[in-house]
Amino acid sequence: MTTTLLDTTRGIVEFTYKGVGPALLLLKGGHSTRNTDLSHSSLVYEGFSLLTVSRPGYDYTEPSTGRTPEEFAETIVEILDHLNIESVSVIAISAAGPTGIALASSHPERVNKLLMEAALTSPWNKKTKQKAKILFGPAERIVWGSLRTLLKFFPDLIMKQLLSEMTTEDVDAYLERLSPNDRRFIYDMLSTSQSGKGFTNDLEHTVPDMNRLEVPVLGMYSQKDRSVPYTNALLLKSSVPDCEIFEVDADSHLIWIGKDAQEVWKKRLEFLSQS
């Protein structure tokens, strides 16, 4: 995939921009790299142009481009200006939730609508932050390198270990129910993951005031998500005037696979296509 590096006032940002049609801005979640695809790249075949911006600390995007969601929102506006994009619909995934909220609330004239996919609307809890800082701080390269090596030889073991953080279900039963395609999805997601300096930055994010959101918002969440609990959906619904919550019948944080995956795709397209 051809990527572009833009020297903004806050530093270097990496992005890709492809397709023809109404512009979508994709903000990926924690640990996701330029190579991590949770199905969103297919949106270009649905008549959209897709701008995928690597968040601060991920890929070649420098942490200085946005220590806070509000700062990175300003950097994103620079990218939109550079590309002569008047407005976008925003898809914010998981840890990118606060950035999506910041952009839509501070620049409603540049955002048509906001789609929150299993996205954070509340701060990380203290225990999760402490654990994540140990695993994905200075040692993150070694951690991910070791996990990728083990994934090749013991895929079930590594999938089980990481999925236990994403599901409230019995993880063995969850693994057994996965289709071959779903297993491939998880394998590819893990094999392309890298935290860089991005995830430790994510952990310090505070959530902007959601009451300021004026654009239409759709939140898609699962009741069985351990990493982004369903309380995030309830908070979003109670804070935003124009908000719909689509409850996904998924067994984990990974709302893009499983029995409801096609409904998620249809709901996303329906929301993004509405004028």
CA angle 145, 149, 152 (to 5 degrees): 145
The reply to whether 239 belongs to the active site is: no
Element (H, E) at 79: helix 69-82
Bin 196: left if φ > 0, else alpha if -120 < ψ < 50, else beta: left
- Give dist(CA 224, CA 255) in Å, integer: 10
Enclosing H/E stretch for 194: none
Contacts of 270 (CB under 8 A, 6+ apart): none
- How far is 26 from 32, CA to CA, in rounded Å? 12
Catalytic one among 32, 54, 89, 94? 94
Q: In the 8-state DSSP scheme, what is residue 38? A: S
Q: CA 107, 79, 199 angle in degrees (round to 5)?
A: 85
Q: Choose among 171, 172, 240: nearest CA to 211.
A: 240
- Identity at 12, one-letter amino acid code: I
3-class secondary-structure state, position 217 = strand
What are the helix (H) ranges across the chain? 69-82, 97-106, 126-135, 140-153, 155-163, 171-177, 180-191, 198-202, 231-239, 261-273
Residue 71 neighbours by CB under 8 Å, 6+ apart: 10, 65
Task: Give the residue from 117, 111, 92, 118 showing the smallest Cα distance to 216.
Answer: 111
* Residues forming the active site: 94
